[in-house]
């Protein structure tokens, strides 16, 4: 009950952001004593909310705590499904991806969201680990239940990466690009990555977990030494501290929008957008794949989402997945598990 009052007081103050709300008004609205109001505001301030208090004026809301708190994420979230059900928050978690997979297996609905302020065993692509910092990056994983057959898996992954890149472009105006298949880049440095795990049987995709790891407010020295030359953050690129909740909300909005538009006709738009955003096209690349190393020039993407590489003999080889070898930008912020 107490926590419900606290939530309602927070909403009332937030609705009047920058304006004074008297203690009397809050007492009357919620039918509680002045002492109780003041106790809840104190607790909110301890959580990191910036709420000014002044005798005879009352309370004035300035800002949230820049933590990924579920009530912050839900506040004015303009999605229909993503982030509208369970939002599981942890200060420290092994991996949001692992947890979201557990929830998906347990039958949690589409849109279930897991967030953490830091991870002890963040997972990257191809068995790598992901470094996330504490309260500075964004670690989120969302459960999706796409009504698609497994053939769509590659296009689905591509779509989710494009959606995250577009969300970041809109939120920040910074020159964010994709490096196939799932890296988010600014220039030659890695800003983040998208991890897509799809569980399917022969006929249908059962669930998908999309995880986003993003460097937001880290300064250069906050990165481990071995990542400093290859990683970047929104803060490093803009000299500004970003509101992580707003960025997370934008990602949810774009994921939902693009993912729901996924059908035969729309695939063409996704591929076109990928061509506009990816930094690999036209570059010489060397990829470690299950069939060995493939070297050549990245030419295009096939309609089913494979990277088309033209080798030295002029042969065009479609590649489903692999690890880029060589100098940055092909090094990632992820490091092999020890
Ligand atoms: C990559 O670049 O290899 C993808 C990195 C994805 C990291 C994110 S952080 C949130 C989610 N939880 C994880 O354990 N991994 C993903």
What is the distance in A from the centroid of ligand 1 to the CA of 135? Answer: 15
- Strand ranges (DSSP E) for the chain? 20-21, 50-54, 58-63, 87-93, 113-119, 122-123, 128-130, 138-144, 176-179, 183-186, 189-200, 205-214, 284-289, 292-301, 307-310, 316-319, 323-324, 335-336
Ligand 1 atom closest to Cα of 97? 12
Ligand 1 atom closest to Cα of 190? 2
What is the distance in A from the centroid of ligand 1 to the CA of 56? Answer: 49
Residue among 139, 244, 323 to mutate when testing ligand 1 (max atoms within 8 A of CB): 139
Q: What is the pLDDT of residue 215?
A: 97
Ligand 1 atom closest to Cα of 137? 9
In this structure, the residues whose C-beta lies within 6 A of any atom of ligand 1 are 95-97, 119, 122-125, 128, 130, 132, 139-141, 182-183, 193, 195, 211-213, 332, 334
What is the distance in A from the centroid of ligand 1 to the CA of 60? Answer: 38
Confirm if 119 and 95 have CB atoms less than 8 A apart. Answer: yes
How many C-beta neighbours within 10 Å does residue 314 have?
7
Show pLDDT as tens, one digit a residue, over the chain (338 residues). 566 889 899 989 988 988 999 999 999 998 999 999 999 999 999 888 999 999 999 999 998 888 999 999 998 899 999 999 999 999 999 999 999 999 999 999 999 999 999 999 999 988 889 998 888 999 999 999 999 889 888 889 999 999 999 999 999 999 999 998 899 999 999 999 999 999 999 889 999 999 999 999 999 999 999 899 999 999 999 999 999 999 999 999 999 999 888 876 778 889 999 999 999 999 999 988 888 899 999 999 988 888 999 998 999 999 988 888 764 444 334 443 33
Confirm if 171 and 234 have CB atoms less than 8 A apart. Answer: no
* pTM of the full structure: 0.87
**What gap in Å lies between CA 311 and CA 302, rounded to an integer?**
16
How many C-beta neighbours within 10 Å does residue 273 have?
18
DSSP state of 266: H
Confirm if 37 and 2 have CB atoms less than 8 A apart. Answer: no
What is the secondary structure of 306-326 as a DSSP string? PEEEE-TTS-EEEE---EE-S
Q: What is the pLDDT of residue 32?
A: 93
């Amino acid at each position: 009950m107490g926590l419900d009052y606290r939530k309602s007081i927070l909403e009332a103050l937030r609705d009047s952001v920058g304006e004074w709300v008297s203690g009397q008004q809050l007492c009357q609205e919620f039918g509680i004593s002045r002492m109780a109001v003041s106790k809840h505001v104190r607790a909110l301030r301890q959580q990191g909310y910036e709420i000014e208090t002044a005798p005879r004026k009352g309370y004035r809301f300035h800002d949230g705590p820049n933590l990924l708190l579920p009530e912050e994420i839900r506040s004015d979230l303009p999605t229909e499904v993503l982030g509208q059900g369970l939002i599981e928050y942890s200060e420290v978690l092994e991996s949001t991806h692992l947890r979201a997979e557990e929830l998906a297996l347990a039958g949690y609905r589409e849109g279930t969201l897991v967030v953490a302020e830091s991870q002890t065993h963040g997972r990257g692509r191809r068995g790598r680990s992901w470094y996330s910092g504490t309260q500075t990056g964004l670690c989120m994983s969302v459960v999706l239940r796409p009504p698609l057959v497994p053939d769509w898996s590659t296009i689905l992954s591509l779509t989710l990466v494009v959606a995250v890149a577009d969300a970041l472009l809109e939120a920040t105006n910074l020159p964010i690009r994709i490096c196939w298949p799932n890296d988010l880049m600014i220039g030659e440095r890695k800003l983040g990555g998208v991890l897509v795990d799809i569980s399917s049987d022969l006929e249908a995709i059962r669930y998908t977990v999309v995880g986003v790891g993003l460097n937001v407010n880290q300064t250069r020295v906050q990165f481990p030494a071995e990542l400093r030359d290859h990683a970047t953050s929104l803060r490093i690129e803009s000299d500004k501290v970003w509101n992580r909740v707003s960025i997370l909300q934008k990602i949810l909005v774009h994921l939902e929008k693009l993912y729901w538009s996924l059908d035969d006709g729309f695939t063409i738009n996704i591929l076109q957008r990928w061509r506009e955003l990816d930094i690999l096209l036209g570059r010489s690349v060397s990829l470690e794949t299950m069939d060995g190393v493939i070297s050549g020039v990245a030419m295009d993407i096939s309609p089913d989402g494979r990277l088309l590489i033209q080798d030295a003999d002029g042969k065009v080889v479609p590649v489903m997945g692999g690890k880029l070898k060589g100098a940055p930008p092909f090094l990632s912020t992820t490091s092999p598990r020890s």
